[in-house]
Amino acid sequence: MDVTAFKEMLLRKRGDILTGGGRDPLTVTLDTNTRQGDLADQATGNNEVHIQLKLKQTDAKILQAI
């Protein structure tokens, strides 16, 4: 592959990240004391938030590298 192909791939990846990349935005709750569901549901929700945050951090690092 030549440099042009790599540049196009990086620009496409940059565009995907900047447009959201098909990920849902993190939901923000105003009242953090209202928990719903049992402990397993709450743990699943917490895990999803942490995973989304890590993905956002990874995307930020990729953007810096590009």
How does pLDDT run across 23-65, given as a tens digit for each residue? Answer: 666 555 444 556 677 888 888 888 999 999 999 999 999 999 9
Entry pTM: 0.59
Q: Rounded to an integer, what distance in angstroms lies between the CA atom of residue 52 and that of residue 17?
A: 13
More confident site: 14 or 38: 14
Q: Residue 30 has what pLDDT? A: 43
- Of 61, 60, 56, the C-alpha closest to 26 is 56
In the chain, where the domains are located: 3-65
Instruction: Provide mean pLDDT across the span 6-19.
Output: 91
> How far is 31 from 25, CA to CA, in rounded Å?
18
Check residue 40 and give its pLDDT. 82
